[in-house]
Amino acid sequence: MEKLGVAVVGFGWMGRVHTQAYARVLHHYPQLLVRPELVTVAEEVPGRAEAAAAQFGFAATARHWREVAADPRVRAVSITAPNFLHREIGVAMAEAGKHIWIEKPVGLTAADARAVADAVAKSGVQGTVGFNYRNAPAVEAARDLIAAGGIGAVTHARIRLFSDYAAHPEGALTWRYERERGGSGVLGDLASHGVDLARFLLGEIASLTADTAVFLPRRARPSGATAGHSRATGGELGAVENEDYVSCLLRFASGARGVLEACRVSVGEQNNYGFEVHGTKGALLWDFRRMNELGVSRGTSYQDQPVSTVYVGPGHGEYAAFQPGAACAMGYDDLKVVEAYRFLRSITEDTPCGATLTDAVSSAEALDAMTRSATTGTWVRVGDAADAT
């Protein structure tokens, strides 16, 4: 089995998730033709890279990502740094001939995502994007049912992403809340996943209209390095520059209608992500918190038609790589293992597998359209937003 040198750039929580996925991927996919070898972890926060190397076995550490780009041992890179660095790092790694697994939203605007996509295409490397929720076997089962006409013609859908990770008023004013470094707030963080789910299930979004709001306008600046969603008290207060909340009406190219709503300050909601898709003959319902279940309503009753719960099993998506029988739970980290597998497979087969930079560009174009619509109060055609800021 060929060894493939991999590096991780940025070692916050997501860098850890990528690293663990590399460590596990051959346990679940022994048919892979490459073995990922942890070469370098790059992190500017003092001590963080060294701790990661000690725990996970990276051969080397670096303070700057450019050291990774120049390292001939590294052939593939996970980019899990903050959003404002995605474009610069992604383009540089592609131009250095490195395959990239990059977290969403791939920059701050569609222009950023396109720049990375163009660099990947020009360099002939592979690029996978961290849209992990599409990898849930129940979501893939829903897509198959929709494509097969199992619920008739889709009429309308609702996609929600509610979280309380920023609900505490003592949440630190990190880069996530700054326009220049975090981009469009909850749009880039959660709504980007919602757009990808919408496209994955129902096809392209033609136009939309959106409304946004900031509900916690000021936060305390942290006194030192942060990880995840840290709290800060007593520090200098600063303005939250990007969105806490977005609601959006969607018109799909198919003629279907949709509603997408996302919020990062929803008290009482912990990762309440999911969708309901309605068609002329039935409906599909999915809740991330019950990830391995799919609500299915099918038949010819139309009125008072019941909903059944399907427990996904080895016949659905990538489930068989993790569990032998239906109703044995998979979890969040498993979805990232699926992502790692598809990334590595795309390298060995020299063919895109899973979510790609094209998907990232399409998602970013929808986010730009939301930003423009929220500013103008009008319907906006997706792709016509001219990288609104």
Domain ranges for the chain: 2-132, 134-330+363-376
pLDDT band at 384, cuts 50/70/90? Answer: confident
**Looking at residue 235, what is its pLDDT?**
74
Q: Is 134-330+363-376 the same fold as 2-132?
A: no
**Looking at residue 222, what is its pLDDT?**
83
Range 270-295 average pLDDT: 98
**Looking at residue 388, what is its pLDDT?**
44
Q: What CA–CA distance (Å, rounded) separates 173 from 239?
A: 8
**Looking at residue 179, what is its pLDDT?**
92
Model pTM score: 0.94
pLDDT band at 228, cuts 50/70/90? Answer: low
pLDDT at 9 over 80: yes
- Domain 2-132: which CATH number of 3.40.50.620, 3.30.70.930, 2.160.10.10, 3.40.50.720: 3.40.50.720
**Looking at residue 226, what is its pLDDT?**
61
**Looking at residue 175, what is its pLDDT?**
87
- CATH class entry, domain 134-330+363-376: alpha beta
Range 310-315 average pLDDT: 97
Share of the chain above pLDDT 90, in %: 92
3-state secondary structure the chain: CEEEEEEEECCCHHHHHHHHHHHHHHHHCCCCCEEEEEEEEECCCCCHHHHHHHHHCCCEEECCHHHHHCCCCCCEEEECCCHHHHHHHHHHHHHCCCEEEECCCCCCCHHHHHHHHHHHHHHCCCEEECCHHHHCHHHHHHHHHHHCCECECEEEEEEEEECCCCCCCCECCCHHHCHHHHCCCHHHHHHHHHHHHHHHHHCCEEEEEEEEECCCCEEECCCCCCCCCCECCCCCEEECCCCCEEEEEEEECCCCEEEEEEECCCCCCCCEEEEEEEECCEEEEEEHHHCCEEEEEECCCCCCCCCEEEECCCCCCCHHHCCCCCCCCCCHHHHHHHHHHHHHHHHHHCCCCCCEHHHHHHHHHHHHHHHHHHHHCCCEECCCCCCCC
The bridge status of strand 282-287 relative to strand 293-298 is antiparallel
* pLDDT tens track for 55-81: 999 999 999 999 999 999 999 999 999
* pLDDT tens track for 352-377: 999 999 999 999 999 999 999 999 99
Lowest mean pLDDT among 8-17, 25-34, 76-85, 222-231: 222-231
Tokens of 287: 């809740």
**Looking at residue 225, what is its pLDDT?**
62
Asked if 204 and 187 count as a contact pair (C-beta separation under 8 A), the reply is no
